[in-house]
Structure formats: structure tokens, C-alpha cells
Chains A and B, each alone.
Chain A
């Protein structure tokens, strides 16, 4: 997802245009840029980083022009580089283009231009639009509308785009096909945007473009036409009456809930990460003497889950170390490796650990969500998780996808180490392939029970999450979710550890959540069961998270949340989901600032 904004006015547009892309930053935040047109010249400024950071370096707000377009990017293809950032221009600097979506016939077009000697500056599909427009301007003798229409007719795919040109002073040309585009009507200025947020600050009068339409916008007016016939379409002006935040969140009350609901889709894109990429990461592990897993906060707990996955599936031990402690603990040398996990790829502690390892000659890998981030540029083998922008400070979908990547990598490593053959690996992958559906089912059919539990127990001030095996790091992660977003004291602990001290805390002021293993994991199940009994025997309240069809635990818990039946491989993932939902519903009932909990930042870039 990317964001497009544009503006034509009778006075300089730079300041307002900058505010427009800042308002669209939630649509993507790895790079951005602006183009403005004045006196037969187009000025383009763009770079990698957040809108604010790019403005500091490139001084976007100092640009001058009466028509401009802007773009904020969330890379899906092509690296995050200055060249790949939008806007893109043709070779002669006559047009600047911003674009959201996919040009599906871009390879053919690119080849055609390259054969004709055109030099491409970027790896994006968007740049071909600029060259195509340039070609059409030549062909139609600078008749901008005809050039624009004929260029569009050559493009295949789903997209929206906006163009300024030295041949069409004071005008923006834009078009929509599947990707959203809206025109805003102001008093002495008109706007375009991927959604209302681009201009809601300036006007509430909008025209919603339909697929197959294009528009020419000037500061005094606009005309919308059908692309095929070039007939003028009469559009209704819509008055926007709504709250900006709501639309950004896609209607969800909080980003956190939106991102929790995103997970089935996120996992699908995780599952489409090419096997070769995962094999590369597995090879890094395989060829190292000792490979560490590193993360901090949630990513540390995900790394800790990874420990169990690699141990169970690939039969090798990869110590997980919280990256803030890594330099004080890890013994790394040239034969070793470190795989770091970070949503932002800018986490200070994790970057420090990676640099520490590199300085000692170790090889490095990373699982990262933000393309072009420091971590991606630093490590030898980066895996981009493709989870889409995560806005809520509390990580949900990014963490779920990181754990999935570790699981998939463990399968690759298992094959590499000769633990099992291709056939068994296929079995694993089939099983993992069900994760998206299982999450969707659990979200739809079980969330209400977690909501009820949250309403019923919102006054409880202390929670203990217990688990064994891989459910132990899942318990740690669930406890962290609870702490972060509800500000309620929660601890995760291995269930076996409980009786070695902490059990003395069990009373009516401490509730326990037990993460029951899958019933097929017999030994783990029996041991966890006895831990739950220990708590109940001391009069403790136990909320069990258990799986459907687990008859053995009937009457064991004070209350229970029944999760859908899955294979043991996917069981811990459902516990993560349940933990997210419980923390979310509690936070809402307690009226916490869910998306921006106190004292927390999305990406901790300081020591």
C-alpha cells in the first residue's frame, strides 16, 4: 500500500502538500517524495525514511510551484532506495509520476524502452509510466490529454496514478483503476489523494473516482472523463462527515484490532516468501558452528519460540538471546552466526548486537518487516516478512509472521540436516499452510469468549501466564502483551518453575492463565495439567486456554477459553492470538490508549 497526494492552487503548494503526505504516512512509511511544477520546470525531491525525516534532509516544504504531487511508499517490490522512491520522471524531465498499485505488463514495457536506449534509474514498475508518457508526448506533439489517455490504454494492472507535466502547466492528470483515488474541492485549490486523509484538513467536499475514469484537475476546477470514450462523466460531490482516524484504521476502533484481524492475510503473504530465501537463512544456520537468535521485547520471545521450533523440527539448538544482553553474553567468532528479528529494522539494541557479531567476523541474518531499514542493509541474509505497515505500538501481526518464518526456516533446516526428506517437509508445509484459515476461524468464532473473560475479570491486578515447552515463550509473550497495553502486572513463567518459588504468590489477588499444550503432546500435556492443579489446590483462579477435543481437562479450570482444534505444530500460534485478544479487550475496557501505550515507542532506536 502506498499513498498518493496532489494539489493545484493559485499560491505555492509545497507546505500543504507536505501536510498531505504526512497525513497519508499510515499507508506506508519507508520512503517519500514530492514533485512540483513551476515555469516549465519540474522539481523532484525524494528520499528514504519517514516523511518528517525526508523533509529534514530534502527540505520538501521549501519547494516552489502551483501544482504538485507527492507519494509515500511502502515497498513491496524493489529495494527501499532514493531512486526507487516516487515521483519518477521521464528522461527529458517533462513529466513526474506518482503511482499506487501494480503495472502487470511492466516487464514488456521496460524491455521495449531499454531496447530503445532509455536508461532506467529505478527498479520500480512506476518508472515505465513516466517513459511511456514521454513517448506519447512526442507522438501526440505535446497534447497532454491525448498522450495521457493513450499511455493509460497501454498499461495493464490495478493502480491509481497522478501526473504533472511541463506541457500542462497548473494541471494534475490522474486516473484510477482498482486502487483508490479521490478528488478534493477547495476554495482556491483542488486536491487529489488516495483517501480523504490527504486533504481532510483543507476541504470536506470530495469526488470519488470510479474505475476506468481519469481526471484533469486545476486550481479552479476539474473534469472527470471515461478513459475509453473520453466522454465527460458528471460526478456527484460528496460531503465527508466522519472522523479521520476511523478511516485510517479502515473502520476498526483501534489499529491493534485491525492488525490482529489482518493476521490471516499477513500469514498468507508470509507463506508466499520464496523457499530459496528461507533456505538461504537455513543455510546460514547450517553452515555456522553456533547460531544465535536475537530479538528484544516481543521479538526476543518470538526468538525464544524459535529455539523450540529449531530444536523440535531441525534437531539443533539455537540459543535465543535478548539483544540488549547479547554483547555481554554471546561468544561469537567467524564461524558463528546471528539471526536478528525486528519489525522496524531500526531497533538500537538489535542493531548493536548485529554489529557486535559482525565485528567479530560472524555472519548475520535478519527477519524484518520494514524494507530498506538499517538492519536489512547491515545483515548478510535479510528476510523481508511482508506483513505490511504495523502502526500500533504493540506488535501483533508482525510477531505472528516472524514466528511463522522461523517455523518455515526450521523445516528447511530439517531437510538440510537430513532429519527428514522432502516428503515430510511437504507435510510440514501443508500443515503450516492451514495457519491463515485457522487464525481466521479462531478470530471470528472465539474472540467473543475472550471479550467476556476480559469484561468479567477487568479488576484483577495480577496475572500469571504459565506454559511448558514452546508454550513457555508463548506465555512470556502473552504476559508482555498484557503489560504493554493494559498496564496490568502480568508475568510469564515456565509452568515447572512455578513450584520453585512463585507459587507462594497464589491467592485471590493473582489469577493464572494456563496455556494448555495440544492434547497429542501427551507428556507436555500431563505436566502442564499438574501445574494447573497445583494452582487450583492453593485456591488460585485458573483461566485455561485449551484446545477443542481435549476431554482430559474437563473441570480442571475455573474458566476456560476453548481454541479450535489444530495440529500441534500450529497450537502455539493460537495461544499467541488468544493472548493478543485478551490483552486488547482488557485494554479497551480499562480505557487505555491502545495504539499508543504510555512510555512506549514503536521502534526503540536508543540505548
Chain B
């Protein structure tokens, strides 16, 4: 079966990281969403993918090219303006043959097991359109469904009201008939699904393993943890240089050409990407994911955070409950504060205004290429734009911001 992968989404809510990349290229647990999706598709037996790209399309095309590195063939379809899922699916029409059923995949969904295999097995068992469904506490962000006693979806509600907050939600993976393209000429996405429900019926494939569709920057930390929680063994590449006494504990995953200086303590689950340098006496605590080519200076403490590729962190800094963008620089002695003294919920200054994270423990979100000077104190929930420079000896944001 061929797959139609939708990777054009902008992921505006994930500012500042989606300013400079498509949502599908956000990394969690050392792997980009799209890397993880394509790997799982391949494992489920899909070798032929049509991918709709839009926002920062070239980044995806440069990275994945024709798909050979993932053992699949990718054909790209460009969606110029961000004009929604319906338009994205319609654009792919000519790549499919009438009568051909296909796997429809929203690339921004992260799961710990192979959801594609599950959906295809359900299709194989019943030979009917299938939609994966799951439970999430954030039902308001997704289409919700009603089920009958035989597990058929008998109604789909695209924009759920207060009433449907406890329903199963669409998990972003479907097996659809070619007729979906015809329906979409006339109807919106949800109406088309309801048409299919009314005509051939739609099976649900209940997904009970962890699932996440990141909507906000802090969701990246949840996704990171979600995947790492399933790791049960350490994997350290043979081509890692360990220079002296280093303490490892738990499922640590360290890729090739990483250099770790003596005195470092590395506690899993955590991930350290290719070619990264870990200085003396660095403490890496659980749920930390460090990208490729990073430099972590002497005495730095990292905890529950994601560092994208080529991040530099100066000596004696602390980064916790935070995400740091590609090529960003964090000067020595910088601290990401991760709680308010009154234990109130942390609010982030997003483009659209302050957003409550509904969590009282959260650090900073630093965009790509940003520079944070030495001896900085970043307030809990600080958001730093891509390329922004925060001078040395600063408290960010300043009082009253």
C-alpha cells in the first residue's frame, strides 16, 4: 500500500522552532518526527510515499531527497500557501490511481509503537476504510469520533464542543479509498469522512500506546519523555571516545564520534547525537536529548531538555525543562529558571500573547541561531526568537516584560 504523507503543516503554535523549519522536522528523543514516521512506515511495509510539503519545503527535500536513505521512494507535491489539509490531500490526487486505497498520514504525529502497522492490520482484517483513534487530554485540538458497538465510527465531529472532550480523537493515520479525492472536490475534510462513514462505513483502529501531536513548544518535552520512557537498554556506539572516568546510568543512547571528557555523569534515558563534545564534569540528567555536533562546556548541567544540532553551551550553565534551537549559543554561567517562586503556572510570551502552559515547571525556549550572553538568568517560560541576541549579564525578560 502506498502512503500519502502530509508534511506541509506550519505548526504556528510551536514558535519559535517552526519559524525556521517545518513541524515535521522537529526532533524528539534524537529523531525528527518525519524520520520516525518514515522509519515506521518502512517497517510496516510501505515503500512508496507521496509527500505534500509546504512550509520550509526545501528543508525536507534536502534532507530526505528521494527517500533512498530510508529505503523508500518519495515523490513530493508542493503546497504553496498554507491552505489546509483538504487542499493538501487534493493536490496529491494525480499521484494515485482510481480504485487505489492509500494510507493517509499526518506527519506531525508521534507514537512510541508502530501505529501504521496497526492501522494496516485493521484494514487487512476488515477491508474497509480505517481511522486510527486514541484518547488524549487535549481533545479540543482534534477531530473526535463516536463509536458503535461494533467499533465502527458512526460520527465524526471536526471541531469538538465541551461535550466531546472525553471522546476518542482521530490519531492522524487512516486507510482511505480513492473516492476521498472525489469527495474532497465537493466537501470539507470532515464532511468527506462523514460521507465515507455513511456509505462504506469506517473502522476504528484503537491506538492504546503513547501518542502525541505536539501543539506547543513544551509538548516537545512531553514527546521526548514519551519515547524515552520506552527505552530499556543503553546503546553506546563503538566509535565514542571516553576520556577518563565517566559515570553512566540507565538507558543512555550515544551515537558515533561523541567525545566525553572525564568526570561527566550521564543518566538515562538520554540521547547524545553524532559528533557532540561533552566537557569535563558535565551532568546530563534523564530525559535529555542533545543533537549532533553540539559542544557542552565544563560543568554544565542538562536536565529534561532538547538541544537541537550544533548548539554550544558555555561552562557552568544550567539548562532544564527547555528546548534550545539549532546553532544557538548559550554563554557560560547562564541559567534557565524553571519555576516561579509562588509555584504558579508558567506563561509563555508567544506571538499571539501570553499562553498558560498549565505547568508550574518549565524553562526556556530558545530559537535557532539565538545567542544568550554569559551569566544570564532566563526567567521561567522565556521565549527567545530565532537569531535574537540577549546581551551578557542580563535577566531575560526584564522585570515588567
**Which A residues lie at the B interface, using CB under 8 A?**
196, 208, 238, 240-243, 246-247, 250-253, 257-258, 261-265, 443-452, 585, 588
Contacts and interface: CB of A to CB of B under 8 A. Distances in A.
Given A242-B121, A448-B135, A452-B135, A251 B203 contact: yes
B146 A444 contact: yes
B204 A251 contact: yes
A162 B168 CA distance: 40
Contact of B125 (A246, A264, A446, A451): A246
Contacts, number: 75
Given A444-B147, A447-B167, A448-B137, 8 more contacts: A243-B125, A246-B125, A257-B206, A261-B147, A444-B146, A444-B166, A448-B136, A448-B169
A243 B126 CA distance: 11
Contacts of B150: 250
B206 A253 contact: yes
B135 A444 contact: no
A264 B151 CA distance: 12
A154 B84 CA distance: 55
Nearest to B206: A253
Interface of B: 120-122, 124-127, 135-137, 139, 146-147, 149-151, 163-169, 203-206, 208
A573 B99 CA distance: 46
Per DSSP, are chain B's interface residues mostly helix, strand or loop, or mixed?
mixed
Contacts of B167: 444-445, 447-448
Nearest to A443: B147
Contacts of B165: 445, 448-449
Contacts of B206: 251-253, 257
A262 B151 CA distance: 9
Contacts of A252: 151, 206
A interface, over-half SS:
helix
A451 B139 CA distance: 12
Nearest to A268: B149
Contacts of A447: 135, 166-168
Contacts of A250: 150-151
B124 to A, nearest CB: 4
**What 8 pairs across the A-B complex have the smallest Cβ distances?**
A448-B166, A451-B135, A242-B124, A265-B149, A242-B125, A247-B125, A241-B124, A446-B166
Contacts of B135: 447-448, 451-452, 585
Contacts of B120: 241
B205 A251 contact: yes
24 contacts: A240-B124, A240-B125, A241-B124, A242-B122, A242-B124, A246-B121, A247-B126, A250-B150, A251-B126, A251-B151, A252-B206, A261-B147, A262-B149, A263-B149, A443-B147, A444-B147, A445-B163, A448-B137, A448-B139, A448-B166, A448-B167, A452-B135, A585-B135, A588-B208
- Most chain B CB within 10 A, of A208, A247, A264, is at A247
A585 B136 CA distance: 12
A257 B121 CA distance: 18
A594 to B, nearest CB: 10
Nearest to B120: A241
A63 to B, nearest CB: 31
B164 A251 contact: no
A452 B137 contact: yes
Contacts of B147: 261, 443-444
